[in-house]
Copies of this chain bind each other. A is one copy, B any other.
Amino acid sequence: MIQEQQTGHNGVDENIRFKPVKTKRAFEEVCDQIRLAILEGRLEAGDKLPAERQLAESLDVSRATVREAFRTLEIAGVLSLRKGVNGGAVVMQGDARPITQTISDLLSLGGLSLSDYMEARVCLQREVIKLACERGEEADFQALEANIDATEKLTTVAQIEDRTALTIEFYHLLAAATKNQAMSILMSAVTEPLGYYIKQIGVDRSWNVAESRQRFVAHLRDRNAPEAEKEMMSHMERLHSYMLQRAQEAANNRG
């Protein structure tokens, strides 16, 4: 049963690398064709693809196959499917949600530990702060302050959902101040899954977040990256240790 190591005695397996055989399924082929068309510029955002029935005939596959391909690309944020006359599959500009979804899935499936996740969040945040300090405009700072004000107004327990949404928005606004779309996307992807945990374990009410955030924004406005970073880091450290602790408690209760 033990496969003998091929050590070159037949002369051709030193440099030849075999790739595992993977027969492609029909819907994957359709996906690839569409993605290739986009990559090569034959399709671009806003273009409408043929109707399912028509495309199925063109590609000589069943409608179900086209549907699975469309579904795949819809989930990926590449296509948008709309019903009705003048509906159909339209090419989008792409969507960051799949990234967020994947992070959430990895967290709930155990493919990613909470502590690794949160450390990465801190790392990203550091870079976001640097850029935001450099490029943030007055409008960005005002948006952040408006967000803090709005959050302070929501104090009742019933409003925890809205409060959480505002907290997440705070990080979005901060990321937007970097003027870098990629940083915004990554920061969102890494922030939104927090919402679930916050809802789950509640917030640490022993501590007023608003003050810390106000100081933070003031540092941003001063273009004082080190101080802004320090302020944010102490906040995040507190949040993360609180979350890890609560997660640990929950695990103990289960086990």
Contacts and interface: CB of A to CB of B under 8 A. Distances in A.
Interface of A: 27, 35, 38-39, 41, 44-45, 64, 67-68, 71-72, 75-78, 91-96, 98-99, 101-103, 105-106, 108-113, 116-117, 119-121, 123-124, 126-127, 130-131, 180-183, 185-186, 189-190, 196, 254
A98 B38 CA distance: 18
Contacts of A110: 44-45, 93-94
A190 B38 CA distance: 20
A108 B186 contact: no
B112 A123 contact: no
User: From DSSP, what is the main secondary structure of chain A's interface residues?
Assistant: helix
Contact of A102 (B77, B116, B131): B77
Contact of A120 (B180, B190, B254): B180
8 contacts: A39-B108, A64-B64, A76-B101, A93-B111, A99-B103, A112-B181, A116-B181, A126-B127
A27 B67 CA distance: 12
A78 B94 contact: no
Q: Please list the 4 inter-chain residue pairs (A to B) with the smallest Cβ-Cβ separation, ordered nearest first.
A: A94-B111, A120-B182, A123-B127, A94-B106
Nearest to A118: B182
A120 to B, nearest CB: 3
Contacts of A121: 182
A86 B181 CA distance: 45
Given A75-B75, A123-B131, A127-B123, A44 B116 contact: no
Contact of A109 (B78, B105, B182): B78
Contact of A68 (B45, B68, B103, B254): B68
